[in-house]
Structure 1
Amino acid sequence: MLWRKNNGIAALALLVAALTLAGCGFRPLYGEQANSPATTQYMAAVEIAPIPERIGQELQNHLRVRLNPRGAPASTRYRLQTRLNEIRTDLAIRDDASATLANLQLIANYTLHDAASNDVLYKGQSRFTASYNLVRSQFANLVAEDDARSRAVEAISDDMRVRLGIYFDRQAKAAN
């Protein structure tokens, strides 16, 4: 009997929380708004400026797919400039002064410009830290570091897409 009473109270609390969130204008971060037709059109008009080095090329390719999965922008209205910084930190030092764990932190500072006037419309920063084990094999360490770098690039491109989607969603709502 007590179990049923607690379930009823929990269900009522969940209902009140859901209604409260709906009333305050709460929207899920990864909801339909980031994929609305207006937001998709804005993101399709973004030209991604070249990002130096191999890791920059990977990020540029990921962004191209995430911002405009249908192909090249028909008309460029925005330009996205990105600067990448990579920091590697060795952790878990052994007695012989060699590390057994490393963190690879990737930081992307980016700026969205109006293509016509070159005015800065939005600035952001995305960062991700990927950890990987270090072993005695140099080749295995290079492969692990490359994998950590790839995971970081993918996470950063996802984060940048979400942040730009929120920006463009606000622009679309302001235009209406």
Structure 2
Amino acid sequence: MSWSRMAAAAAALVFASGLSGCFTPLYSESAHPGLVEDMRAIEVTPIPSRIGHYLVEDLIADINGTGQTASPTKYRLAVKISTGVQTPTVNSEINVASSATVTGDADYTLTKVDGGAEVVKGTANAAAAYDRTTQRYADLRAARDAEIRLARALSQEISLRLASALAAKTP
């Protein structure tokens, strides 16, 4: 490697490291003081059904990062989920769907615990596809894995929207 290339690489490295301090995460504590505290102070209410269980667990992990509910809660998150299954393709030989898509809509409402005032309300949508076979157990397991992926996608969307709403509120 020539000296000019090494000098150019070193200059690029120095320039990049000088700019690295200029970028901060969108929802970081330095950009939005108190956001991490507010996120950790959200209580997630139980959601019925198996996919609701997965969604609650993912939301708790995404929202506060510890996997545990905060002791002094400021907010309460209520979620109602509706799911469906679509089978876009059917095998013409055996007349069975060869794939399926689990879809989910999660209506969420974040309210303050002390006064019950609504902070943010919305609907998150997601979908997860899976292959179907003639083996029943394989189909059940694939459907369950798709539900787990669906819950994860809904959790990420909801937690991002909550962080955005709480970051936008005035202190």
- Sort the TM-score into its range (normalised by shorter chain): 0.7 to 0.9
Instruction: State which drifts further: 93-102 or 130-139.
Output: 93-102
Contact 1:113 1:122 survives alignment (8 Å): yes
Unaligned runs of 5+ in 1: 1-27
Q: 1:142: which partner in 2? A: 140
**Cα distance in 2 between the residues matched to 1:41 and 1:98:** 50
Q: State the 4+ residue runs in structure 1 displaced beyond 6 angstroms.
A: none
Identical amino acids, percent of aligned pairs: 26
Q: TM-score, normalised by structure 1?
A: 0.77
Query: Is it true that 1:90 corresponds to 2:87 in the alignment?
Result: yes
**Cα distance in 2 between the residues matched to 1:157 and 1:132:** 19
Q: TM-score, normalised by structure 2?
A: 0.79
Query: Is it true that 1:53 corresponds to 2:49 in the alignment?
Result: yes
Q: CA deviation at 1:74?
A: 3.0
**Cα distance in 2 between the residues matched to 1:54 and 1:111:** 20
Q: 1:74: which partner in 2? A: 71
**Cα distance in 1 between the residues matched to 2:102 and 2:28:** 31
**Cα distance in 1 between the residues matched to 2:145 and 2:74:** 34
CA deviation digits over 1:108-132, x for unaligned, max 9? Answer: 1100011111122210111111111
Contact 2:102 2:129 survives alignment (8 Å): yes
Aligned residue pairs total: 144
Q: CA deviation at 1:86?
A: 0.7
- Structure 1 vs Structure 2 CA RMSD: 1.6
